Amino acid sequence: MSDTPQSATTDGPRPRRALLSAYDKTGMVELGRALVDLGWELVSSGGTARVLAAAGLPVIPTEDVTGFPEMLGHRVVTLHPAIHGGILADRDEPDHVADMATYGVVPIDLVAVNLYPFGSDPSVELIDIGGPAMVRGAAKNHAYVTVLVDPADYDVVLDELRSTGEVAATTRRRLARDAFAHTAAYDSAIVSWFDEGGPGELAPPVGEEARGPLPPTVHLSARLAQPLRYGENPHQHGARYTFSGDGCWDRAVQHGGKEMSYLNVYDADAAWRLVWSLGDRPAAVVIKHANPCGAAVADDIATAYTRAHECDPVSAFGGIVALNRTVTRPLAEALAPVFTEVIVAPGYDEDALLVLLEKRNLRVLTAPEPEVPALDVRSIEGGLLVQTRDVVSLDRSNWQVVTDRAPTDAEWTDLELAWRVAARVTSNTIVLVKDGQAVGIGAGQQNRRDAGRIAAEKADGRAVGGACASDAFFPFRDGLDAAAAAGATAVIQPGGSVRDEEVIAAADEQGLAMVFTGERHFKH
């Protein structure tokens, strides 16, 4: 490979040529000025060319290279052999060199391009064509061409050019990899837009009417957002990746404490989603190993936390606390004595934050309300498991009171809370609630009877007059009998067992009110 690029039309050295065309013009003037100082030529178009020229830099317009002006409302600017031939030419392939000489193509040695911000405002006109073509061409030909899609890399390349006169092959390869990742993410965003209904003005949504509730392909593109202390265990590496860069964890602020680990983020996410699903009242949850060991609603956030912690204070040790209201000083003083890994809330009073930051290892996070993604994706060997999100409906018009007695107003309130919590507990689960407080949670058992036994043991008499939720139907009446023995007077469950009539009869025998929802909420 030639170290010094040669002109396609002369035998002498030629100035190196850079094509600069970016939507995000951060650092573009500085890059252009540095390249000119190093003896490079600049080729540019549109807004980038105007910015460079306004800074006093010499710029060759792309229309001078192609012989064609920008056309079709800027849809066609760089799509021309004079551009793409200069990017894609193999400088050590005689046929390529001969073609360049024949057609007057000048090699392009650096391409600095980033794409229209499709994700911020999706539309047909923001589907970039020329930009990805140049990025992909330069990345393909990285043996000769340096491709830059991220302004953060400008100084890396300039430092190498200043020190050695070349961009190292390893750097070009890394930049090419990043370039293909950039265009892959861009295409993924466009595919998602089509799947979500765009472009609505041109065609009907590509949705259930066309091919069912799940797309025929899934395109995931995520970038490294946060290195973590370690993975699920200390000998594993861990990191958080982001799809959009704008999720609630991208916008979260950590005020104090150690760096987050994989399980800190995993459990905090489970806690954050649950607490925002509990309704409009002040709510608090305590999560341990992705399962709630406490949840409560109250008239104020401090009381909600106290009652959530009371559900299972032994399991709460080393847990994650999530709150849906600003943390006050009284709440901070209640939190401080308890060993907690992470606290996440929408905000903190200044004096409350001072109290919490005295705990040096406590991770204190502020985060915005989470958005629920449309699809739930898990990895398996050789592929993915994909499902639509489990949405918990509280539409009583779809529920059925199946017993002689209907729930009282107080029981209805507890049934709804128990149902919300049960949907977020690993199956099999039984949840006991009394007066807005989870008092017993039996999680992740291989049979429902054991889940009920554990919930009752944890409740320890506090479920009397309260509600019981089962995430799936009771296959036998023994589960219903266990709820009654724990003191619950109202039960909510999906129904659908071949022994439903037997279970209903058992409820009537004991004066229980029972509601069938028609939907189960397994969680694994």
Rounded CA separation 290/379 (Å) = 18
- Going by the DSSP 8-state scheme, the letter that residue 107 receives in this structure is P
Residue 410 in any domain: the answer is yes
* 342: β partners: 320, 363
Q: CATH number for the domain including 151?
A: 3.40.50.1380
Q: CATH number for the domain including 420?
A: 3.40.140.20
Co-location of 346 and 419 in the same domain: no
On average, the pLDDT of the chain sits at: 90
Contact 100, 89 (CB under 8 A): yes
Domain of residue 311 covers 251-366
pTM across the whole model: 0.84
Co-location of 55 and 107 in the same domain: yes
Co-location of 91 and 136 in the same domain: yes
Co-location of 319 and 445 in the same domain: no
Whose structure tokens read 């995000």? 24
Co-location of 26 and 132 in the same domain: yes
How far CA 201 is from CA of 118, 197, 198, 237, 390, in Å, comes to 17, 10, 8, 46, 30
Beta strands across the sheet bearing 146-148: 60-61, 41-44, 17-22, 110-114, 146-148
| pLDDT < 70: residue spans in the chain | 1-12, 73, 119, 198-212
Q: Which two tokens stand for residue 372?
A: 């629920």
Co-location of 418 and 347 in the same domain: no
Contact 405, 286 (CB under 8 A): no
- pLDDT 10s digits, 157-206: 999 999 999 999 999 999 999 999 989 988 888 888 887 776 655 454 55
Co-location of 271 and 326 in the same domain: yes
What domain count does the chain have? Answer: 3
Residue 425 in any domain: the answer is yes
Co-location of 407 and 349 in the same domain: no
CB atoms within 10 A of CB 40: 16
Co-location of 37 and 157 in the same domain: yes
Residue 358 in any domain: the answer is yes
Q: Which two tokens stand for residue 358?
A: 């005295």
Q: What is the pLDDT of residue 404?
A: 97
Helix residue ranges per DSSP H, 248-328: 248-251, 262-276, 301-311, 313-316
Rounded CA separation 61/67 (Å) = 10
* 3-class secondary structure, 117: coil
Contact 13, 102 (CB under 8 A): no
Contact partners, residue 220, CB within 8 Å, separation at least 6? 188, 243, 377
Q: What is the pLDDT of residue 200?
A: 58
**Residue 401 host element (H or E):** strand 400-401
Residue 408 in any domain: the answer is yes
**Burial state string for 368-390 with b = 16 or more CB within 10 A and e = fewer than 16:** eebeeeebeeeeeeeeeeeeeee
Co-location of 165 and 284 in the same domain: no
Co-location of 168 and 300 in the same domain: no
Co-location of 346 and 434 in the same domain: no
What proportion of the chain, given as a percentage, has pLDDT over 70? 94
**Residue 95 host element (H or E):** helix 94-103
- pLDDT 10s digits, 37-75: 999 999 998 888 999 999 999 999 988 888 887 778 678
Active site residue ranges: 140, 289
